[in-house]
């Protein structure tokens, strides 16, 4: 729904531009490999999320402290070291797409951009798992009530 509303205002065009290359059927197996990798990453995400969620559930501290540790400390630290993890990351992908030299250079950790690009999906899984798995959404709704 979000994309439909966005596109009704901006227009229904591809987010990352048009592919102008010629179709090559030899690339189709690569899409199958990408699908398998995506499936494995989805399984890793679910297992990580529920492991973190269960760990916070077993932790015997006040329910207001859990989101501070998970969402504030862990996710915040990851966000400080790798700001590409925060948000939707479309801006970072656009910078990389247009070959901006410093697109994936962390302000704190000096790693080659390719290593950061490989780490990003895993960091995103950990940050999301700690942010939501610690009860961050529940705590926010409790504070608003």
The reported pTM is 0.70
Q: Is residue 132 part of a domain?
A: yes
- C-alpha span between 2 and 13 (Å, rounded): 15
- The verdict on residue 107 lying in a domain is yes
Asked, for residue 122, whether it belongs to a domain, the answer is yes
Q: Which residues contact 50 (CB under 8 A, 6 or more apart)?
A: 133
* Structural domain harbouring 54: 28-144
Q: Determine, yes or no, domain membership for 85.
A: yes
Any domain includes 88 = yes
Residue 23 lies in a domain: no
Overall domain count for the chain = 1
Q: What is the dihedral of CA 79, 83, 85, 90, to 10 degrees?
A: 150
Residue 16: pLDDT band (50, 70, 90) is: low
Confirm whether 80 is domain-assigned.
yes
Q: Which of 79, 78, 56 is nearest to 139 (CA)?
A: 56
Q: What is the pLDDT of residues 69-127, one digit of tens each?
A: 888 888 888 888 888 788 776 677 777 677 665 655 655 666 777 787 788 889 999 99
Task: Determine the length of the chain.
Answer: 145
């Amino acid at each position: 729904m979000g994309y439909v509303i966005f596109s009704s205002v901006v227009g229904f065009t591809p987010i990352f531009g048009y592919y102008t290359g010629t179709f090559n059927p030899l690339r189709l197996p690569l899409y199958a490999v990408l699908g398998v990798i995506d499936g494995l990453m989805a399984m890793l995400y679910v297992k990580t999320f529920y492991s973190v969620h269960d760990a916070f559930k077993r932790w015997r501290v006040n329910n207001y402290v859990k989101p501070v540790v998970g969402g504030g400390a862990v996710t915040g630290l990851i966000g400080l070291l790798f700001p590409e993890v925060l948000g939707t990351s479309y801006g970072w992908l656009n910078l990389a797409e247009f070959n901006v030299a410093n697109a994936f250079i962390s302000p704190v950790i000096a790693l080659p951009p390719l290593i950061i690009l490989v780490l990003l999906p895993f960091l995103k899984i950990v940050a999301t798992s700690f942010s939501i798995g610690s009860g961050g959404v529940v705590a926010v709704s409790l504070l608003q009530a």
